[in-house]
Amino acid sequence: MTTLLDVARVAGVSRATVSLVCRNSPLVADKTRLKVQRAMAEVGYVYNRSAANLRSSLANTVVLIIPEIANPIYSDLLSGVEEILTPLGIAVFIADTIESLERQSQILLRMLEMRVDGLIISAVAGTSPKSLDAYIRMGIPVVQVMRGIEGAQFDFAGTNNRLGTRKATEHLLSLGHQRIAFVGSAISPSVNQQRYLGFCEAVEMHGLAVDAMPVILSRHSFNAGALATKTLLAQPVRPTGLICFNDPIAFGATLGLYELGLVPGKDVSVVGFDDIEAARNWRPPLTTMSIEAQLIGKHAAMLLAERMKNRDLPISSLVSEAVLKKRETSAPPRIRA
Amino acid sequence: MTTLLDVARVAGVSRATVSLVCRNSPLVADKTRLKVQRAMAEVGYVYNRSAANLRSSLANTVVLIIPEIANPIYSDLLSGVEEILTPLGIAVFIADTIESLERQSQILLRMLEMRVDGLIISAVAGTSPKSLDAYIRMGIPVVQVMRGIEGAQFDFAGTNNRLGTRKATEHLLSLGHQRIAFVGSAISPSVNQQRYLGFCEAVEMHGLAVDAMPVILSRHSFNAGALATKTLLAQPVRPTGLICFNDPIAFGATLGLYELGLVPGKDVSVVGFDDIEAARNWRPPLTTMSIEAQLIGKHAAMLLAERMKNRDLPISSLVSEAVLKKRETSAPPRIRA
DNA sequence: TTTTGTCTTTGTATCGATCTAAAATTCCGG
DNA sequence: CCGGAATTTTAGATCGATACAAAGACAAAA
């Protein structure tokens, strides 16, 4: 295994100089730099980050902790994060907690032991702020993304859920729908609460009774969305529009409609939430609220980068607004009420 | 920041003893171990992995490099890998190359610099075996998964693609289908080649003409699958069954059928490949070939673990057989030919 | 009591890069 | 060609855990 010393010997300079070249410091003269780089190539030198990290306590590494890697919004989020951090020479690792508190604390400990430079976390429901105390003690910046931790004092990047569903619901109301169902989440109670509130706001602002609007909770799968939809449409008075908690549920809803011989966007309108990539590739293309996950990722990364530069900044939130993507699953209701 | 020395002082033992406790060595007496653990808790000690890694050149870390994190088969793969490696005290990191050779080499370099203990890689198309030479030089074990690298001498875990599509096609043939289309991949030429071969084999073994079977290539999106399907069904002689390259394309195919007013599994049969979680949650549940990605993940991890113990083992492959998951999108053709 | 052997514990050198402060070199105007 | 400033380079200590060999503790056997 070759080290700085080997390179130094071949290049005929000191260890310290080679180290400076590694970190491309402006201190070294161009001639020397070239000589060193040639020597590095010659001996096949590979930088040892553990050693560097031990001495400098800078890992140039940030971890993105997400609850469910299979959910495509997190890959959008990741690409936003990388867009900001990669040019800064920071590597981004991903860790998947699979919605398990135990796994999450394992991962948190591991990252602490690795002395990562920062954390972007979409915490599992029920996470205690105490589980991040060690990070505060060690001065490692933490940014919350998408999901906040109750009672935690960290920067946050996310979307305005309440406003988002309000806009979605207003869209259907303005198309003339009078009976709109809310297909909520049985998985993320806190976010669901916010999104349901927005739904209620829109309905009330339109002078309709919230009680008249059916509500059902669903898991985040196609099948669950389809079942929920079939249940809703089996009721005596059918809704003409569906506001879904997220896109996968909305996809399930359209599948459920097809099974009932109904055409989404013609017989019943369906609106999703998130705007994952599949939404624009759906048939028919799904009307949904875009949270612009990639932008949220950029926000989170920017907050983290700022705080890495200066830990005394006041805590801040970057809450973006979801925008309506009107596609083909929403239209005026067939029969005006 | 507290170190081994701080703990040692509080516990009244030497630094070396504390180090042994960290690695829960059986050498320390139970009484001492307890004393040390109490001291650790008291001073809030956090293990420093960079220091440990520098000295022992053991990172207890393995990286899984995948080309597309949004593809759900990789999350199954990951869970299989973790099932094997986590109990061994090895942390698994995920890195996403987003099908970019440049990003892949960045990541490979980074991992080398971190002196990870092993690599499981599903390489980007066009990867040169040379890009892994440094790993051979440094004696870091590498296992290929799902996709092989042309000309590389590493262990491999994956599925038998040819046999898989052969079985899928035989399933439709045995149901009585005479005209079956192959909806291939425009993205992964090498895997597509293998899968198409299996399709041809089945057709020929059944005494039918391969030339009579329509073939079309598709990207891996719902939309592309739907379009391909509509193109196929616009032909004068319609296929009664579709063998799709993977599940997302098959999903697209069912959506395309719905748009044409046809019912998947009744009017036209659709068979997918991979058996991602969404397949059993699809409406109707999708008939598909399960590659058991989780099992493949376990295989890859086992191969890696073996090689970490002994680098002189002969190179080996673990190729598993895909199994048919007969669900509701396949049935005998409507009109017998 | 001494010897032997098993269990535990420890002192010290070491891993490879970085920090610091100081030394060496170069540059330039006078 | 010199002095002083600016630019480069360097020696040596250091980060925190681990390897190794050797020492200490203790019980049982002689």
Residue with CA nearest C1' of nucleotide C7: B27
Provide the CATH number for the domain formed by A161-291 in this structure: 3.40.50.2300
Residue A23 CA and nucleotide D11 C1' are separated, in Å, by: 20
Order across the sheet with B287-290: list the strands: B215-218, B180-185, B241-244, B269-274, B287-290, B323-325
Neighboring chain A residues of B219 at a CB cutoff of 8 Å: none
Residue A280 CA and nucleotide C13 C1' are separated, in Å, by: 63
Residue B89 identity: G
How many angstroms separate the CA of residue A76 from the nearest CA in chain B?
Answer: 9
The pLDDT assigned to A151 comes to 94
Neighboring chain A residues of B280 at a CB cutoff of 8 Å: 223
Among A75, A68, A65, A142, which residue's Cα sits nearest to residue A106?
A65
User: What is the rounded average pLDDT of the residues B137-153?
Assistant: 95
Is it the case that residue B187 has pLDDT exceeding 90?
no
Closest nucleotide to A20: CA versus each C1'? C18
Residue B29 CA and nucleotide C1 C1' are separated, in Å, by: 29
Residue B34 CA and nucleotide C2 C1' are separated, in Å, by: 35
**Dihedral angle computed from the Cα positions of residues B150, B152, B153 and B155, in that order, rounded to the nearest 10 degrees:** -70
Tell me the whole-structure pTM to 2 decimals: 0.91
Return positions of chain C under 7 A from a protein CB: 7-12, 14-20
The closest CB to that of B223, out of A94, A138, A283, belongs to A283
Give the residue extent of every domain in chain B.
4-47, 59-159+293-320, 161-291
Neighboring chain A residues of B252 at a CB cutoff of 8 Å: 281, 283
Question: CB of A31 under 7 A from strand D?
Answer: yes
Segment (H or E) for B144:
strand B142-145
Give the residue from chain A lying closest to B114, CA to CA: A49
Number of A–B residue contacts, CB under 8 Å: 123
Q: At what angle do helices A189-205 and A161-174 cross, to 10 degrees?
A: 40
DSSP alpha helix (H) spans, chain B: 4-11, 15-22, 30-43, 49-56, 73-85, 101-113, 133-137, 161-174, 189-205, 222-233, 247-259, 277-281, 293-309
Do B278 and A98 lie within an 8 Å CB cutoff?
Answer: no
Phi, psi of B88 (to 5 degrees): -85, 5
Contact B67, B124 (CB under 8 A): yes
Q: Which of residues 52-81 of B touch strand D (CB under 7 A)?
A: 52, 54-56, 58
Return positions of chain D under 7 A from a protein CB: 7-12, 14-20
Architecture of domain A59-159+293-320: 3-Layer(aba) Sandwich (3.40)
User: What is the rounded average pLDDT of the residues B42-56?
Assistant: 97
The pLDDT assigned to B337 comes to 41
Phi, psi of A32 (to 5 degrees): -65, -45
Is it the case that residue B336 has pLDDT exceeding 60?
no
Q: What is the pLDDT along chain A (337 residues), one digit of tens a residue?
A: 899 999 999 999 999 999 999 999 999 999 999 999 999 999 999 999 999 999 999 999 999 999 988 889 999 999 999 999 999 999 999 999 999 999 999 999 999 999 999 999 999 989 999 999 999 999 999 999 999 999 999 999 999 999 999 999 999 999 999 999 999 999 888 899 999 999 999 999 999 999 999 999 999 999 999 999 999 999 999 999 999 999 999 999 999 999 999 999 999 999 999 999 999 999 999 999 999 999 999 999 999 999 999 999 999 999 999 999 999 999 999 864 4
Question: CA–CA separation, A76 vs A78, rounded Å?
Answer: 5
Do B138 and A1 lie within an 8 Å CB cutoff?
Answer: yes
Residue burial A211-228, b: 16+ Cβ < 10 Å; e: rest: eebbebbbbbbbbbbbbb
What would the pLDDT profile of A299-325 be if each residue is shown by its tens digit? 999 999 999 999 999 999 999 999 999
Question: CA–CA separation, B156 vs B160, rounded Å?
Answer: 12
Do A48 and B113 lie within an 8 Å CB cutoff?
Answer: yes
Do B278 and A222 lie within an 8 Å CB cutoff?
Answer: yes
Do A54 and B59 lie within an 8 Å CB cutoff?
Answer: no
Neighboring chain A residues of B44 at a CB cutoff of 8 Å: 134, 137
Among A295, A247, A305, A308, which residue's Cα sits nearest to residue A79?
A295
Do B50 and A46 lie within an 8 Å CB cutoff?
Answer: no
User: What is the rounded average pLDDT of the residues B159-188?
Assistant: 97
The pLDDT assigned to A337 comes to 41
Is it the case that residue B275 has pLDDT exceeding 60?
yes
Query: Degrees (nearest 5) of the Cα angle A183, B70, B251?
Result: 65
The pLDDT assigned to A336 comes to 47
Contact residues for B15 (Cβ-Cβ < 8 A; gap 6+): B4, B5, B8
Among A57, A59, A9, which residue's Cα sits nearest to residue A35?
A9
Question: CB of B9 under 7 A from strand D?
Answer: no
Segment (H or E) for A29:
none
Contact B12, A149 (CB under 8 A): no
- Per the DSSP assignment, residues forming a β-bridge with A94 are A64, B94
Neighboring chain A residues of B283 at a CB cutoff of 8 Å: 222-223, 226, 252, 255-256, 258-259
Q: What percent of chain B has pLDDT over 90?
A: 95
